[in-house]
């Protein structure tokens, strides 16, 4: 039986005319693996990228490394973060590394300007070059180094696919996806191995993460919900969703990927914009949350910049909008 084509989900208008469109595939799955809603081919394998950082961070708790180095809930949130490189992120990562006897130079991720525009401009004005602590993945890397330090494993090679740190990640992903991880990883932007997994299986992992009763899942869920500003940052969609609707755990990934876990419903949501567009992924995620009645009127007001983004020209005048096309998501 042929798979459904990826539907056009998002329209971008200018002057009342559709100028661009984005196709989005999505899977909403419960803990039994039943599909609640879908769009496109949910068996297609994707690289979930940073949307699965909570699974990469689980070994912090499971190996005892978090306890051994007295990690705080804030640091656990940073281990799951794609942060904006604001001072609240960078300062905490540096303090964490210092407890390990390390500095930012030991992080395997490269340096880039902060994702947060204000933080980036502050560095420029001060004449400061960003270092590896500014990388949006620095918290995840600090977590991996923490585990390697605790387990007495090599620090310099922790990004190698056969390193015990990465093999634990692979084992965790297989446990939550039902052994659905495909062979032959790629390399993520920050240098870690990134595995291909069918979209439906990533959603199953999100659903299982939502309800898993083990210490690791509970600790990471709690950390992300308590510190949404550390998971992403100022004016970021992940942070806004978890502030306005704290019963939803939201996490973005590169190339138009989004994951959400909903503990009270026992469901996982995963989507990917076919062209990798962040604007499409964010708008589609908010549409799904609204369709599933996961945002109330107060949350809708708080999330309006992501639910109904307005396009403005350089002088600030409204010139278009980003909107959802009706019927793109099939509820079962």
On whether residue 42 sits in a domain, the answer given is yes
CB neighbour list of residue 290: distance below 8 Å, 6 or more residues apart: 300, 307
Q: What is the pLDDT of residues 36-51, one digit of tens each?
A: 999 999 999 999 999 9
Domain-located, residue 172: yes
In total, the chain counts a number of residues equal to 332
| Within-domain flag for 303 | yes
- Rounded Cα gap, residues 57 and 137, in angstroms: 12
Question: Residue 2: what pLDDT?
Answer: 53
- pLDDT recorded at residue 325: 96
Largest CA distance in the chain: 61
Residue indicated by tokens 């604001």: 86
Q: Residue 168 maps to which CATH number? A: 3.40.710
Tokens 């609707």 identify what position? 245
Whether pLDDT at 4 is above 90: no
Beta strands in 76-209 (DSSP E): 186-187, 193-194, 197-198
Question: Which helix (H) or strand (E) element contains residue 223?
Answer: helix 215-226
In a domain, 310, yes or no: yes
d(CA 312, CA 5): 32
* Number of domains making up the chain: 1
What is the rounded average pLDDT of the residues 270-294?
97
DSSP string spanning 236-277? -HHHHHHHH-TT-EEEEETTTEEEEEETTTTEEEEEEETT--
Q: Which domain holds residue 316?
A: 8-331
Q: For residues 328 and 287, give the distance between their C-alpha atoms in angstroms, rounded to a whole number.
A: 10
Does residue 3 surpass a pLDDT of 70? no
Question: Residue range 100-118: average pLDDT?
Answer: 97
The sign of the CA dihedral 38, 211, 52, 166 is negative
Q: What percent of the chain has pLDDT over 70?
A: 99
pLDDT grade for 331, boundaries at 50, 70 and 90:
confident
Mean pLDDT within 168-174: 98
- Give the model confidence (pLDDT) of 65-80 as tens digits: 999 999 999 999 999 9
Residue 26 has pLDDT above 90, yes or no: yes
Whether 1 maps to a domain, the answer reads no
The predicted structure's pLDDT at residue 37: 97
- Is 218 a domain residue? yes
Tell me phi and psi for residue 271, to 5 degrees: -140, 160
What confidence category does residue 332 fall into, taking pLDDT thresholds of 50, 70 and 90? confident
**Distance in angstroms (rounded) separating the CA atoms of residues 36 and 332:** 5
Q: What is the pLDDT of residue 324?
A: 97
Q: Confidence band (pLDDT; 50, 70, 90) for 90? A: very high
Summarised one tens digit per residue, pLDDT across range 219-238 is 999 999 999 999 999 999 99
Rounded mean pLDDT of the chain? 97
Confidence of residue 188 (pLDDT cuts 50, 70, 90): very high
Using CB atoms within 10 Å of the CB of residue 169, give its burial: 0 to 12 exposed, 13 to 18 middle, 19+ buried.
buried
Question: 258 lies in a domain?
Answer: yes
Confidence of residue 1 (pLDDT cuts 50, 70, 90): very low
In a domain, 2, yes or no: no
């Amino acid at each position: 039986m042929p798979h459904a084509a990826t539907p056009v989900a998002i329209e971008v208008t200018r002057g009342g005319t559709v100028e661009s469109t984005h196709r989005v595939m999505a899977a909403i799955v419960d803990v039994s693996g039943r599909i609640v809603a879908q769009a496109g081919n949910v068996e297609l394998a994707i690289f979930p990228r940073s949307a699965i950082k909570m699974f990469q961070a689980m070994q912090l708790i499971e190996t005892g490394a978090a306890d051994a180095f007295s990690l705080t809930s804030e640091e656990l949130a940073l281990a799951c973060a794609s942060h904006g490189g604001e001072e609240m992120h960078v300062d905490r990562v540096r303090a964490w590394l210092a407890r390990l006897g390390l500095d930012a130079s030991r992080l395997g991720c490269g340096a880039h300007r902060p994702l947060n525009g204000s933080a980036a401009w502050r560095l420029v004005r001060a004449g400061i070059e960003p270092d590896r602590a500014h990388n949006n993945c620095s918290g995840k890397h600090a977590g991996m180094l923490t585990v390697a330090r605790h387990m007495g494993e090599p620090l310099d090679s922790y990004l190698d696919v056969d390193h015990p740190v990465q093999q634990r990640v692979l084992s965790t992903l297989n446990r939550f996806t039902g052994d659905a991880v495909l062979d032959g990883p790629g390399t993520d932007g920050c240098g870690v191995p990134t595995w291909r997994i069918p979209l439906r299986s990533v959603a199953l992992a999100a659903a299982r993460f939502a309800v898993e009763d083990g210490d690791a899942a509970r600790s990471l869920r709690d950390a992300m919900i308590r510190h949404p500003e550390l998971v992403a940052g100022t004016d970021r969609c992940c942070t806004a969703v978890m502030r306005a609707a704290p019963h939803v755990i939201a996490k973005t990934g590169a190339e138009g990927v989004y994951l959400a876990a909903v503990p009270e419903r026992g469901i996982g949501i995963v989507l990917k914009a076919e062209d990798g567009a962040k604007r499409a992924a964010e708008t589609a995620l908010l549409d799904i949350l609204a369709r599933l009645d996961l945002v109330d009127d107060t949350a809708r007001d708080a999330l309006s910049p992501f639910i109904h983004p307005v396009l403005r020209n350089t002088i600030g005048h409204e010139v278009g909008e980003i909107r959802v096309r009706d019927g793109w998501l099939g509820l079962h």
